[in-house]
Amino acid sequence: MRIVLLFFFLLLNTMFSGLFAQGETPRGYIRAKLTVLDGSILHGYIKNNIRYKAAISFIQPETGKKTEYNGNNLIGIEIENISFICINGDFFKILSKGPLCLLQKSSDASSIPVYNGSDPVFSNGTDGRQGDYFFYTENTRELNLISEKIYQKIITQKLGSCPTAFNRATASVNDINGLKEAVDFYNNCK
Please indicate, yes or no, whether residues 125 and 173 belong to a single structural domain of this protein.
no
Question: Which domain covers residue 164, as residue numbers?
Answer: 147-190
> How many other C-beta atoms are found inside a 10 Å radius of the C-beta of residue 139?
7
Q: What is the phi-psi region of residue 10: left when phi exceeds 0, alpha when psi lies from -120 to 50, beta otherwise?
A: alpha
190, 115: one domain: no
Residues 58 and 22 in one domain: yes
pTM of this prediction?
0.80
Q: Are residues 98 and 170 in the same domain?
A: no
* Same domain membership, residue 76 and residue 163: no
For 54-141, list the strands marked E by DSSP: 55-59, 66-70, 74-79, 82-87, 90-96, 100-105, 113-116, 119-122, 133-137
Kindly state whether residues 90 and 119 are assigned to the same domain: yes
With beta carbons less than 8 A apart as the criterion, state whether 179 and 133 touch.
Answer: yes
- 86 and 104 fall within a common domain: yes
- Please say which residue of 145, 160, 177 terminates a domain: 145
pLDDT tens per residue across all 190 residues of the chain: 556 544 555 554 554 444 444 567 788 899 999 999 999 999 999 998 888 888 899 999 888 899 999 888 899 999 989 999 999 889 999 999 999 999 999 987 766 666 666 776 666 667 888 899 999 998 999 999 998 898 999 999 999 999 999 999 998 887 899 999 999 999 998 6
